[in-house]
Chain A
Amino acid sequence: MTPMFFNQFDSNIAMVNEDERQNFHRDASRLRKRLQISSRDKEVVEDDGTVGQWSISDPRISCRNVDVNYGDKQAIKKVNLDIGRNEVLSFIGPSGCGKSTLLRCLNRMNDTIPGCRVSGEIKLDDEDVYLKHIDVVPLRAKVGMVFQKPNPFPKSIFENVAYGPRIHGLTATKDGLAEVVESSLRRAGLWEEVKDYLDHPGTSLSGGQQQRLCIARTIAVNPEVILMDEPCSALDPIATAKIEQLIDELREQYTIVIVTHSMQQAARVSQRTAYFHLGKLIEVGETASVFTQPIHKLTDDYISGRFG
């Protein structure tokens, strides 16, 4: 009787250990090899070029060797970057690093700035947007922009949204126009709040409402790309959350590039993040990995709020 008891006891112990060993046993030398490989990846960090996946397949926008100068001051240096379809890409980086400058290149908003010179290649759907014959008016309808400070026209709410579709000749009839205005305001999440006041001036709305009005104005002309330059910097958390929710919905149809100074906002709304420093694109990658495991030390210092 005793031996049997022991045998059972013994095999019980053996069984548990087999299990546990499978769970816990680690091959340290293999790990070491793996870790060495990953540390080698990290050594490229001091490299001059951009680290991370700046190029993707089938991009909507692609920038190659883009330089931007204001007079003799270079604001953007040799930027290579692809922007995907149906993705939100955020631009982050310290003040003055060139985020707004690069954003404005994408729909040639820089053309109006005296002394501003753009070189390199920027393609939208494989067409160079800086070719001489390109008309910037339809380009800006295709690539819409929302600014930091909401800037409604000094007109009624209705006219603010109707203006674009009218000048671009998107609808011929009055009813058609009213439909576009309603659907744009709905998609911007503003319809319920303003439907009874469409003839009130756009400027009578609150800051958050004005920003959503500007977004409605932008999407009314059926853009393909929406550029947003710090769209929430003047808004409270609730208005901010509404805009972020809107961005998330718009992503299904549009390509969105957002400049933001809020790390958390970049982490919340974007799928990819691009970090700029002194006019250079330092790192691009999946947002989740940029915020948990940035590759470049400059990115790391910036997002974690350390001395650079």
Chain B
Amino acid sequence: MKSSNNKKHLLTGNEAAAEAAILAGCRHYYGYPITPQNELINHMAIRMPQVGGTFLQAESEIAAIYMAYGGAAAGARVMTSSSGPGISLMQEGISYLAGSELPCVIVNVQRGGPGLGDISPSQADYFQAVKGGGHGDYHNIVLAPASAQEIADLVYDAFDLADRYRNPVMLLGDAQLGQMMEPVEFRKTPRTHQTVKRWALTGAEGRARNIVKSFYPVKGELETFNIRLQRKYRAIEHEEVRYEEVNTQGAEIILVAYGTCARICKEAIRRASGTGLQIGLLRPITLWPFPKEPLRRLAKKARAFCVVEMSAGQMVEDVRLAVLDRCPVHFYGRMGGGVPSSREVLKKVLNILAPEGTLELEIPEIPTELGKGLYFSTIP
């Protein structure tokens, strides 16, 4: 594929991520094969040599994350990608990236777990992505796209955010988003905020040497460093929260979902329109920093929240922490590769409104014009 970036391409989300990375100036990619992210690594293998970049299939995800660490330390824009088990192996390296304040973009195309699990869509790596995952007090910036188009857009932003804050950025997708083909238009001018990396390792010619490290053995130094890291995180929380609101004005029930589940919730809202049910959606686009304030604002008006996830309930904890006891927070989840349907979501909403089962609803069938890549309820 040529990087002619002002027309629509039909791409899997994985390919969109790879191509957007190249357009954002990434010339160093390291990865290890794992389903459901193979389209990404395969695309990089073809494209990187064409643009004079480095593609290297590492001997493991451990090696891949440290190769990316090396590239980042050397001042380049670097990407790696994986899924569940491979991301688990990368966690030590991600902690080192955060501790050494190195910019790096990591794509996690989530699959079902725990263990080897399966290769179906899942959102059960939320804790691992947003709560640190590796050792120590740190955060990844976590972006949650909901379409191939948004993957392309957010990959640009991921590189900018990583550079601006010298922090790892994780793009958290899933098997559905990664493998489904959708039309994608690449933003013409990537807003690449190419910072001058004076700290990078280039050889100390004509300047004082640079050291990239996360080791602070002198008493007190590490705490001072951690305080500075936390200040950076507070600044990110202040500046970088992103979310989308759908139909929240006057909604009785606010659905909260990201990625694939957010699209299913949008579908549920469409199916409920005209039935009198007032349902809205808050879709976090940044999972960390988490959109706490918008949730608190909505908690003043809504009757209840319902968090929908492909997990046993992970993001729901952050929603509860955000709204505390201002508003009841319900949960609907499917696990181990199960994907909720919009019908299941609507049934859950009815159950919240009338737990005794007195509320019935003719759920209309899906209007055909919605078949445009917005609807999916089952996975083949």
Is B one of A's binding partners? no
Residues in chain A within 8 A of chain B (CB atoms): none
